[in-house]
Each structure stands twice: as C-alpha cells, then as structure tokens.
Amino acid sequence: MDVVIGIDTGTTATKGVAAGLSGELRALTSVHYPLSVPGPGRAELDPRQLTAAAVKALTDVASECARRGDRVVAVSLSAFLHALVPMDDDGRPLGPVITWADGRSGEQADRIVAAGAARELQARTGTPVHPMSPLTKLAWWGETDPGTLRGTPRWGGVKELIVAALSGSPFLVDLSVASGTGLYDIHSRQWDDEAVKIAGVRREQLAEVLPTTARLPLRPDVASAAGLAADTPLIIGAADGPLANLGVGATPPGVAAVSLGTSGALRTVVDRPTNDTAGRLFCYALTEDRWVIGGAVNNAGSVVRWAAQSFAAGFERPGAEGEDADERDAALLEEAARVEPGSEGLLCLPYLLGERAPWWRSGMRGAYLGLRREHGRPHLVRAAVEGVCQQLALVRDSFEAEGCSITEIRATGGAAASELWVSVLAGALDLPVSVADVPEGTGLGACLLAWHALGELPDLDRAATLVPTGRHTRPDPSAAALYGRLRPLVERSALAVLDVVTELDKLAPEPLPGTEKAVGS
C-alpha cells in the first residue's frame, strides 16, 4: 500500500503514524520526553530532544512500513502552537523551547490588554493576547534581555525547528502555525506591522510563511536513515489543533472536535478567517480556504497525571506491582468513576498551568472549592476531570453566543480512551460524543493533509467519511442538568479568586538553581 507518514510533535511526546489514502493506519510509534518547569509559571523543552524524537519517530514508522511492504510517498508535519525558540540562521536552536504553557510574559500581556490594543490585534491575527503567544513572549525578552532579542538571528517555534532538522530548507513555517503566533495578519497574509513592533523584532528575524500543502525536500541523511527514497517530499503541514479536526473527521458544519491530550481544545471548521465579537475564540488556518475557530484550555490529561503524582503515593492495586504511569492514571480514573456526578459538592478549578479560553486572562491558578472531610482521593480526581470538561463547555457556550451551533462532538487524544472522561464531557457539553476510532487523530490529520497536497484527496470533507468512530456516548440528562447549574459557579469562582492568586504568586519563592522539575516522560 502507498502510505504517508505523519510526524506530530507534541508537548510531551512525538507521535509517528503511517496511513493510506483510505485513512487506514498502518504503523504507529511514540517517543516521549519531559517538560521542564524551571520556575513558577515556566514550561520549557529541550529542542535537541524534539528534533531527535522527530527523526526517531520517522525512522521507526518507516521501518515498520518497510516490514509490511508499504511504500512511503510523503512525510507530513504537525506541531503544537505558540512555542518560541531562539535560532541561528541555519535553524539551529540557541536556547530552550518556551512552550504554550509558559506564563512568564503575563505582565507584558496585561499591559497590552490595558493599553486597549488586544482586541484589534486579535481581530487581525486570530490569536488572543495571552502569555501563551509568541507575541507576548518576545515582548518579555525585549524587556528582560533586549540585547539577546535584537541579536538573535532568528526567532521561531517548533515547526521551524523540525523543518530545519528534517529538510534542506531552513527557517520556513506554515500558514497554520504562523496564524497562531499573534504576529501574523490572517487577512492580509503577512507579518503584522503593529504586532512585530510590540514584539520588538524585525520581519527578517521571522520565518517565511508557506501554504500548509507546500512540498519541501527531505535532507539526504534523514531520508537515508529512514530508508526512504531520496525524492520523498516533505509536506510542511499545519498546527496540531486544526489537523486534529481533519483527523477525526470534524470538518462539516455543526461538528466540533475536542482534543483531550496534555491540554485540551474545542474547535470547528469554517470557510474564511473569522473572529468572534467578544474575543473569546481563536482563528487558525488549516489550509488557505479552511479555517478553525475555537478555544484551547491549558489543562486536560496533565491534571490527572498531576493528581496521580500528588494523591496516589503508595497507591497500588492488588497484582499491579510495577504498573506504569498510564496504568496508574487509568486506575485512579476507574476509582473516580464510582463517585456521583458533581463530586458531592466539590468544585475544581483545574488551572495548574494557568488558563486560556474563554477568558484569556494571565495569572489564573488552580483551586478546590467546597472541600470537606468526607471528600477523598476519588472525589479530588473526579472533580478535576469535571473542571476540565466544564472549561470546554464554557468554550462551547462562546460558540453558541456567536450563532455557531454545535450538534456533534468528535473526541481524540489520550484521555478520550477513558470512559469517565468521555461521559463527563458529554454531560458537561450536553452533546453526543463520538470517540474517533484512531489512536492518533492529529497524526492522521497530518497524513490526510498530505494526501490533499498530493492531489489524491481534493475534498477535505471526505475525511469525515474516512475516519471511523468508536463508542458513541450520549449525555446523561440528570448529569447534564447538574453540570449546567454548576457552570456559572465555575465562571464566578475562577474570576473571583483571580486577585487572591495574583497576590499568592508574588509570595511564591523562586526555586533554587538545580531544583527545576520535569513533568511527564
């Protein structure tokens, strides 16, 4: 079979998949690495680990394709959004990757908002002004180390990093990733003058923007290591969120995709760049004529992993000695599923990594409210899951406020394998949820986009017929009604405690050198 390999660089792992034109997955691999937290509000990755993981994922999947007798006709790339990394002229990193979860530029974001520039910037760039965005990260560099900001030859993100590692064409970025930087005018299709000025960089320090279907050459040594033909094209691809919609078949009107990975998001596809009037939703490109609107939440599966690390010391089931972190998470979720919806009056604000949609406010922090003596570990874990799903429901409410009606959800990501996650999501959204019957929707989306670039899949909506769906979960009416009553309390609580957590942040000591933490593996 002719196949395309999709390489999806994520926050804690790079996934590699191979898929035929029918959407059938032929191979799958995953290469993990830690997310470093060197201080409060910071979240970084080692760029060398990212590039090594991309090469290994490509090589491993290509080897499996060769074993099966499949012919690889292209390689396609996906990458997570909002990263920033200093680079030299050849695309080599000069420092760590500052990820979307890094909140160090909160003060800069707040000042842009206070100056009244945020709404117009978002209308032009499609990206809310928030510490996640490269715009505010660059502004932070300009205030803390202006010499490095000006003197660094290039500023890029994960896609530029991986393209430079796999291609002979350094410092290129796709339209999709560019549309998530907060620096690119999605209407005029060029770097935005005001945003670039606020960031303190020059246009020549930013990458050339290509269509998401652009073909590039593979580096000869990379092709050779993977056992691929020297002329195998590299499709530059898109960002992970828009590709997840494509990979789960959530491209027709009324169908939205929910990603439940380390972070989460709810997105739907439209046919032109669109921004909501209240500034609650982002707008990023899938292709030049298909765009994705939605909202991302910083915390999803990472919250359960944190709960497992924090609440499960010594937690072992009979006969489960030596189980890995994923198995432990699953066991905790199974335990939490026995708690009734609403967690017996316990409310969780799951903002461990801050929060994004729908408020796009810097400095948000997590909390448990209503905690009583009778609450135990199962309540804490279930409340965390409910908190994430309620946040996604607030994003869905923003869709409805703009007249964009959603009638069906297609879910993807590691957490979507959990029945608890899916049942709570269906209840919080009060919508049926279909779990895509593919283990890696984003990677499959990268493959389908490549088939589109090769001219073999002209109509992207055909993806909805190619992607099989697994279990179909309808919301429990009583749970949906309860979550509907609780949701205003989530919003009120989150905004009410913002002043308090801002003061608490000021009291948090900086970590001593060498005490940084790693999250995930």
Q: With bands split at pLDDT 50, 70 and 90, how would you rate the model's confidence at 512? A: very low
Percent of the chain with pLDDT over 70: 96
Highest mean pLDDT among 270-279, 325-334, 375-384, 431-440: 375-384
DSSP per residue, 132-177:
TSHHHHHHHHHHH-HHHHHH-SEEE-HHHHHHHHHBSS-SEEEHHH
Q: List domains and CATH numbers for the chain.
A: 2-253 (3.30.420.40)
- Average the pLDDT over each of 15-19, 103-107, 494-498, 502-506 and give the range with the smallest value: 502-506
Whether pTM > 0.85 for this model: the answer is yes
Lowest mean pLDDT among 57-71, 97-111, 299-313, 470-484: 299-313
Instruction: Check whether 170 has a pLDDT greater than 90.
Output: no
- pLDDT one-digit tens code per residue, 435-466: 987 778 899 999 999 999 999 999 988 887 88
* pLDDT on residue 324: 75
Q: DSSP states of 178-219 as a string?
A: HTTSSSEETTTTEE-HHHHHHHT--GGGSPEEE-TT-EEEBP
Alpha carbon 163 to its chain's center = 19
CB 391 within 8 A of CB 355: yes
Interval 173-213: pLDDT, tens: 999 999 999 999 999 999 999 999 999 999 999 999 999 99
d(CA 489, CA 477): 19
Taking alpha carbons only, the member of 271, 284, 302 closest to residue 238 is: 284
Distances (CA, A) of 402 to 111, 281, 425, 485: 27, 10, 21, 22
CA distance from start to end of the chain: 34
- What DSSP letter does each residue of 372-441 carry, written as one string? -TT--HHHHHHHHHHHHHHHHHHHHHHHHHTT----EEEEESGGGG-HHHHHHHHHHHTS-EEEESSS-H
Query: What does the pLDDT look like over 464-483, one tens digit per residue?
Result: 788 777 789 999 999 999 99
What angle is formed at CA 247 by the lines to CA 241 and CA 253, rounded to 5 degrees? Answer: 80
Range 11-40 average pLDDT = 93
Q: Give the mean pLDDT of 272-290.
A: 92
**How confident is the model over 291-314, as a mean pLDDT?**
88
